[in-house]
Amino acid sequence: MQKLTMKPLVAATLMALGASGAAIADDDRYIIQVDDSKKGVVKALAKKLGGDIKVDAQGFIAAKFSGKDLAEVKGLLNNPHIKLIEEDTRRYPMAMYSDDAGDPMMEQVTPYAVYQSQADQLNFDNTSNVKVCVIDSGLDDSNPDFDWSAVTGDNDSGTGNWFDHGGPHGTHVAGTIAAADNTYGVVGMAPGVPLHIIKVFNESGWGYSSDLAQAAQLCANAGANVINMSLGGGGANSTEENAFNDFINNGGLVLAAAGNDGNDVRSYPAGYESVMMIGANDADNNIASFSQYPSCSEGRGKKSTSNENICVEVTAGGVNTLSTYPAGLATLSNMTADGVSYDSSAMENMGTASAETYYMGIGDSTDAGANGKICLIDRGSISFHDKVQNCENSGGAGAVIINNEAGMLYGTLGDTNATTIPAVGAALEDRDALLAATSATVAIENGDYGYMSGTSMATPAVSGLAALVWSHFSECSGQDIRAALKATAEDAGAAGKDVYFGHGIVKALDAYNYLTTNGCSGGSDGGSGGDTGSFELTASGYKVKGSHSIDLGWSGATSTNVDIYRNGSLVATTSNDGTYTDNTGNKGGASYDYQVCEAASSTCSVTVTVSF
C-alpha cells in the first residue's frame, strides 16, 4: 500500500476579534458599498484620492488606500452616494496538515467519510439541476478524476485562471465533492456533480472578504445552488454577509469551515446566520482536536439569546481525508517488509531503497552495522532529522522511523534537511512485524492524490452530501436541505446537540429517507441531535462574590437521575428533582451552553445559553 504525506499547506490561524481602534485594515483594503448607478462617481473619487480599485462588483467596490486607517478613508470619501465603508479582511484556506494513504494511482479508493456519511448508499441523480460552486484556490485541470465536461469557472485578473491551481487546497476540496466514480483515484460524495470554480486565493495563499462577496454573485450567475467555502478568517463585515444572505434568499445553500484553531472563536464567513458552519470529526466519530466550537449565544446577560445558525451545525470526516491533487504535487510512499506491504507516511527525499533491515534502536548515534541496510529506528529522544542523518552517516540506504504511540507517525525532516536517503514513518502497531523482517523496501515518489486534514476537508464532504441528497428533491430549497441534514445527523459526543458536533455527523441516506417521508418542510424532530420530547429547560445566571453561578430548572424527564452538560461536557449526574445549581468558580466574561439529559441516554432538553 502506498502512503502519501505533505508539509503543511498553510497555517490557517484565525484572527481573533478585538478592538480595531485606529488600526489599518488588512493590506490597507476597504469595501465601499454604493448603488450601481452612482458607482462611477465613487470610483472616480476613490481614484482621485489615491485609491487603487481591486474589486468592482454589484453594489460595492473594494479599494486599497495605502497607509490609511478606516476613519481616514471615511473622512476622505465623505460622499452622499456611499452607503457604508468597512475593512476588507483576509480569508484563508482551512487545512491544518496533510497526510496521505492508499494507492489511488492504481485503483479507485473510497475515502472513509463516504462510508461514514452513507454517501455510498445513495446515487447522485445527474438529471437534476444541482451545481456546486467551489470558492477556493482553483481546480487544476491536470487531474483526470473529474467529469471536465461538467466543470466551469470564472477567471480573476488577480489570481489567474480558475483551472490553474494556486496550491493543492482547491483541487483537494473539489475532489471530495465531485471526483468521478471510475476505476482509479478517489470517489467524491456526489460523483460527477457539476462544478463552478471561483479562484479567490492569491499566490500567497489568502484572499479577501470582498472577493468572497463578489464570488457569491458569480456563483449565482453560473446557476449554482450550493456554495462551498473551505476558508475563513477573523471579523465579520456586512458586504460579505449580504452577499450570502442574497444567495440563500434565492433558494441556495452556503457552507463554510468552522476553523482549525481548536478554540471557541467564531470564524467568518461560517459565523454568519445564512452560512452553515461545518466542524470536523475523525474516522472513529471523535471530534477533531483542531475543530473550532464557537458558542451559539448572541448578546450578553438578560439580552443573551441562543442561535444555532451561528455555531457548528453538523460535522463530517475531516481528518486524514484522501482526495485529488494537482498532478505530481502529492508525495507517495511505499513500504514492504519481507514482501508484505505496510502503511507508511512519506517524510522526505525521493527515491527507492531495497536492502536487509537493521535495527538502530532510537538512532541517537552512528552504527557501522547499518551500512548498506534499511535502518529501523524507534521514535524518541532526538529529532527525526538527526535519526535519519545518523542512519545515512552509517551508510544506511533508507530509514523507517516507528512511532512510539498508537497510530501512524507523520512528520518531516525540517526546513534544513541535509539528508538524501528516502525516509518514511511507520505505525507502532507494525513494529513487531517490521523488526522481525529480514529485508525491506522504502520508496517515495510524486503522485496525484493525497491526504489533508482540517475543517476545510469536512466542509466539502457536507457540501457534496447536500448536493447528493438535493439531486433527488429539486422542489426543496437550500434551507430545506440544511434542516434535513441537521434533523438526521447521527448524535456524537455529549448526548444531544452540543457546540462541538452541533446536531451530529451527517448521514445521506437518512436525510433522503427523512425528506421522502416528511417532504421539504420536514417532520417534528427539528434536528435536535437527540429526542427532546416534552423535555423543557430554563437557566438563570448570577454572580456570588464575582463567581458565576447558574440555576437550572427542568421538567419532562422520566428517569431517576439526569446528566447535566455544560458546553458539551458532563459536569454532574444528579437526582431528577427538577433543579440544579452549577457553581462554576469562573469570573469575568463567559458563555455557557447547558443541556439536561435523562441519565445515560440521548433524551435531552434543548440547549440553553447563559452569558455573563
- Pick from 465, 489, 458: which is nearest to 189 by CA? 465
Closest C-alpha to 169, from 325, 374, 396: 325
For residue 443, the cross-strand partners are 334, 352
Q: Which residues are catalytic?
A: 136, 169, 456
Q: What is the signed CA dihedral for 210, 211, 215, 218, rounded to 10 degrees? A: 90
User: What does the radius of gyration of the chain's CA atoms come to, in whole angstroms?
Assistant: 26
Query: Bridge-partner residues for 342, per DSSP?
Result: 335
Cell match 473551505: residue?
A: 230
| The one-letter amino acid at 472 | H
Question: What secondary structure letter does DSSP report for 21?
Answer: T
- For residues 48 and 239, what is the distance between their CA atoms, to the nearest angstrom? 23
236: nearest Cα among 135, 70, 89, 55? 89
Q: How far apart, in whole angstroms, are the C-alpha atoms of residue 372 and residue 385?
A: 19
Three-state SS across 535-560?
CEEEEEEEEECCEEEEEEEEECCCCC
Q: Which three cell numbers stand for residue 528?
A: 435536535
Q: Are 499 and 560 in contact (CB under 8 A)?
A: no
- Alpha carbon distances (Å) from 269 to 130, 161, 174, 218, 245: 22, 24, 19, 17, 11
Give the residue among 489, 485, 510, 490 at the shortest CA–CA distance from 253: 485
Give me 346's grid cell.
512519506
What values do phi and psi take at 369, rounded to 5? -65, -15
Report the run of H or E that residue 239 belongs to, with start and end.
helix 238-249
User: To which residue does cell 542512519 refer?
Assistant: 391
Query: Where do the DSSP E strands lie in 373-464?
Result: 374-378, 398-402, 423-426, 439-447, 449-452
Q: Tell me the DSSP string of 52-87.
A: EEEEEETTEEEEE-TT--HHHHHHHT--TTEEEEEE
Q: Residues 203, 206, 211, CA angle at the centre, nearest 5°?
A: 105
Per the document, the length of the chain is 612
Q: Are 391 and 440 in contact (CB under 8 A)?
A: no
List % helix, strand, coil for the chain (3-state, nearest 5). 20, 35, 45
Q: Could you tell me the CA-to-CA distances from 333 to 38, 294, 320, 413, 451 in Å, in that order? A: 58, 37, 15, 15, 12
Is 164 buried (19+), middle (13-18) or exposed (0-12) by CB count in 10 A?
middle
> Are the C-beta atoms of residues 322 and 101 closer than 8 Å to each other?
yes
> Do the Cβ atoms of 273 and 309 come closer than 8 Å?
yes
